[in-house]
Structure 1
Amino acid sequence: MFTWLQNHRRSEIRATPFPPQWRSFLEARVAHYAWLDTSERQRLEGDTQVFVAEKDWEGANGLKLTDEIKVCLAAQVCLLLLGWENPHFFPNVGTIIVYPSSFQAISRQRNGYMETESRRALLGEAWSGNLPVVISWEEARTGGEDGEDGHSVVLHEFAHKLDMLSGGADGVPPLSGGDAEYDSWAKVMSQSFRDLQRSVWQGGESVLDGYGAENEAEFFAVVTEAFFERPYPLRERHLALYEALHQYYRQDTAARWERWERRQTHPAP
């Protein structure tokens, strides 16, 4: 019953005309919007409306949340869901906390009677369970406007939340293909992870950000960034890895990028 009501509510939200001002936000702030064809744009707009409506939004450090901020963040998140017929809209995310820029994460460690405190400046953070995702608006805005630099704090943090849908963050999100897909995923990801570690240790060049060599969870988040932001070089240099992400996200992002490039070179009359 709940699922039926939820789907009905989402259909009503999608049926609401997409505000022209929201579309102008996407055109100005979300570079990937230009890569999409007409049907994909309509789908992204509808999913963005659902995500904005269903989540709680909090501004931190004095940031006043505007429609522009919520729409631009939501659209970047919903790029991840674009290939799924019935997207789940992240049931493990209830709240998005948005800071104006980087924020301080405080950690404490006790050793006997002594407690030490350390601080780190972060651009984004995804907490396990149903806890919030924290995002720097400055970083999200910059990443959204440049769709080809290989970096997106929004895609990165929400890739972690996809990973966490299967339990802990271990680089293995829920897969729909059964044991065969899990076996294939493990083989491709583990080899690619080791290759990146080796490249980082040797000071080599890679399509992938070296931060992905930290652990399997960070590797999946970094690979997700590359799949959406640098799909063509990822496919050219790491075909097996690209195909694993292609199968998971059900999107051919390299072909999408190629279509966009052709439109740029040969615009319609």
Structure 2
Amino acid sequence: MKRSPVATTILLLGAAYCLFPVAWVVIASSKSAGELFSTLTLVPSTHLFDNFVDLSTYRGGLYWRWMANTVLYAGVGAAVSTFVSAMFGYALAKFDFPGKSFIFNVMLAGVLVPGVILAIPQYLLLAKVGLTNTYWAVLLPSFISPYGIYLARIFAAAAVPTEILEASRIDGASDWRTFLRVALPMMRTGLVTVFLFQFVAIWNNFMLPYIMLGSDRLYPLTVGLNSLLNQGASQPAMYITVVTGALVSIVPLVLLFLSLQRYWQVDLAAGAVKA
């Protein structure tokens, strides 16, 4: 295949556009508070370790409490959401029941509704049962993902042959056992994608925990760093702490993508063989 210089140039420019903010965060994290605004250069400094120590010792290590909260919200929320999406998607793809088309259309409508619009109604509902300012206030809304269900339906329809399900039922397996032992393994690579999408969405979510939580001990990284940023107006030194915290918050996402990318490679190879 002949390479196009124009296409290559566009891709390189797009990559530079996406990576430049990350590079700036890495460089800015290495500067002192005084250098951050006085020297607008892309040359790194030598204060990264000192900034990391200041971040770690802030209010007795509160940043790591925020990190642990974020891992809890994103990890548990994404895992439960992926399993729920797999069940709903499998049912929509492989079963016929009254109202199936209506349910699917409602789910598609849910995909089009931004999550920020639902934050206030969710707050009012959880306030009625006394769950605001608790871990459940962030976890419960993340368990259902219309987009995850939509993707799981596509994966189930494409990856799970109906003939294999019928053979499993002939062998005496129940529908639940067939789903767990036959369909779920076949959907694995697709569900990794659902998990990653949901994990990143919860990890970066700001509005929902900002509305739901009142105690800074329950904050995720997004809300916690925002509170530090607000302090920067009166304490400019906090800006460098926010930048360093933002850099550290990227690391788990990078490690997660690197550890799960082999499942995408397997899925792409399987698609090439089928083609």
**TM-score band, normalised by the shorter chain?**
under 0.3
Larger radius of gyration: 2
What is the TM-score with the length of structure 1 in the denominator? 0.23
Larger relative strand fraction: 1
Where is the helix percentage greater, Structure 1 or Structure 2?
Answer: 2
Taking CA–CA contacts closer than 8 Å with sequence separation of 6 or more, which of the two structures ends up with the larger relative contact order? 2
What TM-score, normalized by structure 2, do the two folds share? Answer: 0.23
